[in-house]
Chain A
């Protein structure tokens, strides 16, 4: 009997008999936690006391009791599965509580724009001026458009249903995959609890954006790949065509939804396939203990295409075809800049050309408290701690498998992603990698915890369980602190250039005006947050970057209107300029107003720079709501000189 089986056998008879164990009371606690988060957010909107206490207590009320049961050896399979779904769904609603009536900047507005283009043109691949990559990956918009049009619900309602369903399916698929791979629901239960600690889980992976759906599709493909790989020869021949078609369909779907998820999944499947192949070689077997008897790496006559290599090929071929014929340009533009910046910033850091960024810093806005910093650091330690033990268990002990070894290698990426966080540009790559890396981390943590020696003393057993749940809760809270800027964790009063905190009635009113009165796809010069609103809701095209080597954002920073500003307006065919007067003398909360690297260098924009537009001859102020003014450049564009 293995350690896991011994632990399972030690379950109290009463709990084993119950079908869903503590699900009902934990669901009630999760509901109570959601109410506390909502009250905390409302208090934060009014800058009332207790906002943070209610918010964090609500999060802990949702996570900690569920984690306690998921970590417990007495939890039945059904209860663990139900709790996994409950955890995913409750934390998804936490994101919904942030802004329960509409989308928030930045990615959700990009998806909304893509949806509008699809509904307007009936075609899939319209240009997206907010996030270029969305134009090449319309899977999310397709299913949301279908749901929205068929049910005649708003895009927001349809999007919330699709992403909510995707979250539930992700939790189920992840649970089933980890259970199949490990052979026990204990590892799956712990793995899911740890996976929820990834810094992107609470907000980023709950937003209306392609990655949120892709994770569910990727997990479903992983499940079929696992079914294909671990099938006995008779099973394999019984429904070979069905499983092959399922993998092909899901691979094709995945590449239409999200690039990075497809690449990460194919990389994992290839690693798994290579490890199966290597496991069959005597040179490797002499260095490492043999895998379990039923592992494909020990099965007689096992061929590469009977394992994860085939679904990897499906994803790679589909992805390559998609890149060549559909999305090559937008993908290279979007991912190229992300990876290039990350690489350059790390290279600069290593060569000493730049220092580290301020870890836990938040631009000019609110900074993390000391407690938050400590929690952030404390959340990393237990996750780093399990990696060597997981590697040892997967690589140096008997009764392992190629899949275990592949997952332990995924976990090994975690310290590398932490290193990326030392630079500003690398942080985005690290953040994006976390939803994949935590699958491996969840697995190795599950493996270690499920194989802990059973304790006969009830007090020591309870103390260990409480200790593990407390560590998991710290990992969850700390993960959220690491992943989300302090200014955007809760809603609150308006902040200048503060992403979702810059969503204001004035900005929304300007975007609705643009939707109703300005020609769609007009080119506008505008700051980042108003740009996402005007692009997503107003259907205009925000312009960023450079023209003739001149950064377009300089138009906002020059104290007087100069010939280079005129060159930007004329040469870049700018049709409208949107000016937000709230920026005057207030530095941006997230280091820039318009785009990274803008001339401001993070300093406040001057009054003269903003007010010059009002006095500029030939510029018509066609819309005004107080803070926000929209200028028509029709009479300015044709000029040669200012």
Chain B
């Protein structure tokens, strides 16, 4: 490691350690926005940096051009690495992380060797990204703050618009796991609490009734066991909202009691 850092540059050591640390972080039972953000470079930065360092071991290209390649090669790593991997295996969270970390480490090793090879007129590269000066950084931060405020405003407006929609969904579908059973559901998409009454009829008789209140965004799911359903009956579900007939759904059953 020390030799790698000494002869080839601390940047490669940092990239290699970061990719392994990211992999280790994923294995820990912790979650959250910060962890998620910390793991973003494992996809969009570290592999591309390593590939760019391998392909361009000298100081040039530097600065903004290297930033372009870091992103582009990161995309290449995910797209081409994933493409090859999925020919033989499935892709999951740790498969992706493994592919990206392995490629990153391999490219770091090759980059270190290429940099260490003495060639005339070449020096160990140091990333040449010029940071913003203080006033520009402050301006950028303020702009980011305004952009976040704009997004928050837009989210607020969108939620207000969607809150204006006042509807309740009703469904009846065969249960997958229990042959002959039926699931009935009500979903209140309104901002207010409402009183509902639901009746299920089949072969001329009422099989099931339910009455109650559902709050905003609340759902009700009723399971109708097969022995309750008359054989081959056409089930008709009627929903009343606040005392008025509101919705009706139907299902032709095949199996029943």
Interface residues of A (CB under 8 A from B): 19-20, 23-28, 30-32, 34-35, 37-39, 41-42, 45-46, 78, 81-82, 86, 90, 93, 96-101, 118, 121-124, 138-139, 142-143, 145-147, 149-153, 161-162, 165-166, 169, 172-173, 175-176, 213, 216-217, 219-221, 223-224, 227, 238-239, 242-243, 245-246, 249-250, 252-253, 256-257, 491, 504-506, 509-510, 513, 517-518, 618, 620-627, 632, 634-635
| Least CB separation from B69: chain A residue | A220
B155 contacts A161, CB within 8 Å?
Answer: no
List chain B residues, Cβ under 8 A from A517.
Answer: 171, 173, 183
Q: Once bound together, how far apart are the Cα atoms of A625 and B165, in whole Å?
A: 11
Known: A122-B90, A142-B82, A145-B91. A35 touches B149 (CB 8 A): yes
- Chain B residues positioned under 8 Å from A81 (CB to CB): 64
Contact of B86 among A27, A96, A122 (CB under 8 A): A122
Chain B residues at the A interface, C-beta cutoff of 8 Å? 22, 26, 31, 35-37, 39-40, 42-44, 51, 54-58, 61, 64-65, 67-69, 71-76, 78-80, 82-83, 86, 89-93, 95-97, 100, 114, 119, 121-122, 130, 132-133, 135-136, 138-140, 142-147, 149-151, 153-162, 165, 167-173, 183, 187, 189, 247-252
Complex partner residue of B139 from A24, A149, A161, CB under 8 angstroms: A24
Partner among A39, A100, A622 whose Cβ is within 8 Å of the Cβ of B249 = A622
In the assembled complex, the Cα of A166 lies from the Cα of B5 at a distance in Å of 31
Question: Which chain B residue has the least Cβ–Cβ distance from A625?
Answer: B169
For the complex, give the distance between the alpha carbons of A618 and B136 in Å: 68
CB pair A146–B43 under 8 Å, yes or no, is: yes
Contact call A252/B76, Cβ cutoff below 8 A: yes
Inter-subunit contact A150/B39 (CB<8 Å): yes
Task: Give the docked Cα–Cα distance between A166 and B75 (Å).
Answer: 10
Question: Once bound together, how far apart are the Cα atoms of A223 and B63, in whole Å?
Answer: 14
Task: List 11 additional A-B contacts (Cβ < 8 Å) besides A100-B158, A220-B68, A624-B170.
Answer: A24-B138, A34-B150, A82-B132, A138-B79, A146-B43, A161-B44, A165-B44, A169-B67, A216-B75, A257-B75, A509-B169
Inter-chain CA distance A238–B61, complex, in Å, is: 13
Within the assembled complex, what's the spacing in Å between the Cα atoms of A505 and B164?
A: 9
Report the nearest B residue to A618, measured CB to CB.
B252
Supposing A176-B64, A246-B69, A249-B76 touch, asked if A622 and B168 sit within 8 A by C-beta, the answer is: no
Q: List 10 A-B contacts (CB under 8 A).
A: A24-B138, A34-B147, A139-B79, A143-B43, A151-B40, A165-B71, A172-B68, A216-B71, A253-B75, A513-B169
Whole-angstrom distance between the Cβ of A233 and the nearest chain B Cβ = 14
Is B71 a contact of A491 with CB atoms below 8 Å? no
Find out whether the CB atom of A149 lies under 8 angstroms from the CB atom of B93. Answer: yes
Cβ contacts under 8 Å, B153 to chain A: 35, 38-39, 42
Q: Which residues of A contact B248 (CB under 8 A)?
A: 621, 624
A20-B133, A42-B156, A618-B252 known; A152 vs B31 contact (CB < 8 Å): yes
Distance A303 CA – B243 CA, assembled complex (angstroms): 85
Given the known interface contacts A42-B154, A149-B96, A622-B172, the answer about A169 and B68 at a Cβ–Cβ threshold of 8 Å is yes
Compute how far the CA of A488 lies from the CA of B24 in the bound complex, rounded to whole angstroms: 45
Task: Decide: A257 and B167 in contact? CB cutoff 8 A.
Answer: no
- Return A153 CB to nearest CB of chain B, in Å: 5
In angstroms, Cα B138 to Cα A186, docked, is 26
Residue of B51, B96, B97, B143 with most partner-chain A CB within 10 A: B143
Contacts of A82 in B (CB 8 A): 132, 136
Most buried by B among A24, A35, A249: A24
Chain B residues with Cβ under 8 A from A121's Cβ? 90
| A509 B189 Cβ-Cβ under 8 A | yes
Q: Which of B74, B89, B136, B187 contacts A19 (CB 8 A)?
A: B136
Q: Which 8 A-B pairs have the closest CB atoms?
A: A24-B139, A31-B146, A122-B90, A42-B157, A220-B72, A27-B143, A625-B169, A31-B143
A-B contact count (CB 8 A): 288
The contact of A45 among B31, B71, B161, by CB within 8 Å, is B161
Report yes or no: B82 in contact with A124, Cβ–Cβ below 8 A.
yes
| B187: A residues at CB distance < 8 A | 509, 513, 625
Q: A145-B96, A213-B75, A624-B249 are in contact. Are A45 and B158 (CB under 8 A)?
A: yes
Q: Does A223 contact B65, Cβ atoms closer than 8 Å?
A: yes
Contacts of A227 in B (CB 8 A): 61
**Chain B residues near A123 (CB-CB < 8 A):** 86, 90-91
B72 touches A217 (CB 8 A): yes
Query: In the complex, which residues of chain B have a beta carbon less than 8 angstroms from the beta carbon of A34?
Result: 146-147, 150
Residues in B neighbouring A238, C-beta threshold 8 A: 58, 119, 121-122
Residue of B42, B136, B183 ringed by the most chain A CB atoms within 10 A: B136
Taking a contact as CB atoms under 8 Å apart, the answer to whether A172 and B67 are in contact is yes
CA–CA, A169 to B147, complex, Å?
19
Q: Which residues of B lie under 8 Å from residue A634 when comparing CB positions?
A: 252
Considering the complex, give the chain B residue whose CB is closest to the CB of A153.
B36
Report the Cα distance A46→B36, complex, angstroms: 35
CA distance A625 to B136 in the complex (A): 52
In the complex, what residues of B have CB within 8 A of residue A27's CB? Answer: 136, 139-140, 142-143
Query: Judging by beta carbons under 8 Å apart, are A505 and B73 in contact?
Result: no
For A45, the chain B residues whose CB sits under 8 A away are: 157-158, 160-161
A146 CA / B142 CA spacing, docked (Å):
31
A216 x B72 contact (CB < 8 A): yes
Note all chain B residues with C-beta closer than 8 A to A26.
139
Quick check: A150 and B79 within 8 Å, CB to CB? no
Contact A151 B69 (CB under 8 A): no
Closest to B97 in A: A150
Docked CA distance A166–B43 (Å) = 13
Known: A41-B154, A176-B65. A625 touches B172 (CB 8 A): no
B250, A621: Cβ atoms under 8 Å? yes
By a CB distance below 8 angstroms, the chain A residues around B64 are 81, 172, 175-176
Q: Once the chains are docked, how many angstroms separate the CA of A378 from the CA of B91?
A: 51
Structural contact, B82 and A146, CB atoms closer than 8 A = yes
Chain A residue numbers with a CB within 8 Å of B165 are: 504-506
Partner of A100, one of B56, B138, B151: B151
Minimal Cβ-Cβ distance residue in B for A32: B146
Q: What's the minimum C-beta distance from A502 to chain B, rounded to whole angstroms?
A: 13
Residue of A nearest to B51 (CB): A249
Provide the bound-state CA to CA distance between A162 and B86, in Å: 21
Q: Among the listed B130, B138, B150, which residue makes an inter-chain contact with A31, where contact means beta carbons less than 8 Å apart?
A: B150
